[in-house]
Amino acid sequence: MKHLTDIENISKEDILNIIATAREFKAGTKVSDVSTKTVALMFYENSTRTRCSFEIAAQKLKMNIINFDTEHSSISKGESLKDTIENLYFLGVNAVVIRHSYSGLINNVMKSVKYPVSFVNGGDGTHAHPTQALLDFYTMLEKINTVENKKIVIVGDISHSRVAKSNIALLTKFNADIHVCAPSYMNFKNFESFNVKYHQNIKEAIEGADVVMALRVQNERHEKEGYPDSSEYKRLYEIDTKLLKQYASKDVILMHPGPANRNIEVSSELLDNTLGNTILKQAQNGVYVRMAVLNTILKGGGYAS
């Protein structure tokens, strides 16, 4: 495994190896195999959790880190991302972590780059966010041991969500019982092609759920697409403690990739109570999972510049 651009492109074995390595890093029983390597963090779209946790992960691995300044790089003079990355390779960069608003860009650039740089997708448009799915899986395993046949309900802005797509790809590999819940205008256009059950009614969706994963309502995309404003969404889909206690399994875990819109997709009181704490654990686990990803793709002799 030399790249991580999509969950679809990696095997169950790769995923379980990353989880096992992340556990060792979290327990402090593993040391870095990649302390001589250099990673460039190229974030063309805003981020708190993904960018900072990759940076902390690389620091813990004792790697060299380039925080690539996307605003002041020579891309502003017309240089392509392919040429930029090939130059970075010759400067000594072994891996690039890219976040971009353009869906599919990372796979396209990876195919065009002629030198052996490892690519990690830090979230591209509405396409994929594989390290988020891995850290979500890690967190679920910590809390409920297995996802097989567990009812996992993803609620909210499914159509725009790279997190939903990568989670569904991963959870399908591990035989989870996957449900999505959204108003029709937020559902996948082609939801039949995903291995999920679709609900419009939140109470029906979360009945007996083991995991409820809320998604951020992506307001910045809605105005352009003529969606109703988020007060309509809040009225029908906001998750609060009462709703979870009444309908979900008694040991339900609440997840959210962040950033959360308080009192839109999840109530503020729920975010601040013990159930909401899992969301912060997701962010924390992101450090160990991203350490495991960087260590896995860069260890050994392959792809050294």
Choose one: 10-18, 44-52, 241-249, 297-305; the region binding ligand CP (CB under 6 A). Answer: 44-52
Please report whether residue 162 would count as binding ligand CP according to CB under 6 A: no
**Matching residue, tokens 């959870």:** 171
Closest distance of CB 100 from ligand CP, Å = 12
* Binding residue for ligand CP, selected from 208, 259, 300, 302, defined by CB under 6 A: 259
Which of 278, 298, 11 has its CA nearest to residue 138?
278
Closer residue to ligand CP (CB): 133 or 205: 133
Contact between 123 and ligand CP per CB under 6 A:
yes
| Closest distance to ligand CP from the beta carbon of 120 (Å) | 13
12-27 b/e (C-beta count within 10 Å ≥ 16 → b): eeebeebbebbbebbe
- Note whether 118 binds ligand CP by CB under 6 A: no
Q: Which residues contact 194 (CB under 8 A, 6 or more apart)?
A: 168, 178, 180, 188
Residues numbered 163 to 222 that lie near ligand CP (CB under 6 A) are none
Please count the residues of this chain forming the interface with ligand CP, following the rule CB under 6 A: 9
If one asks whether residue 125 binds ligand CP (CB under 6 A), the answer comes out as: no
Angle at CA of residue 179, ends 175 and 180, nearest 5°? 135
Tell me, what DSSP letter sits at residue 266?
B
Nearer to ligand CP (CB atom), residue 55 or residue 177: 55
Shortest distance (Å) from residue 68 CB to ligand CP: 16
Q: Which of 107, 126, 132, 230 binds ligand CP (CB under 6 A)?
A: 132
- Which of 9, 17, 47, 64 binds ligand CP (CB under 6 A)? It is 47
CB of 200 to ligand CP, least distance (A): 25
Q: Which of 127, 257, 285, 295 binds ligand CP (CB under 6 A)?
A: 257
Structure token pair of residue 87: 């130059």
- When asked if residue 156 is in the footprint of ligand CP (CB under 6 A), the reply is no
CB 116 within 8 A of CB 94: no
Single out the segment in contact with ligand CP by CB under 6 A; choices: 90-98, 174-182, 244-252, 254-262.
254-262
Residue 155 tokens, joined: 């609620």
Q: What single string gives the DSSP state of each residue in 148-186?
A: TT-EEEEES-GGG-HHHHHHHHHHHHTT-EEEEE--GGG
CA-based nearest residue to 140, from 15, 6, 294, 264: 15
User: What minimum distance in Å lies between the beta carbon of 50 and ligand CP?
Assistant: 3
Q: For residue 203, what are the contacts with CB-CB under 8 A and spacing of at least 6? A: 243, 246, 247
Window 48-107: residues binding ligand CP (CB under 6 A): 48-50
- Residue 33 DSSP one-character state: S
- Contact residues toward ligand CP (CB under 6 A) are 47-50, 123, 132, 257-259
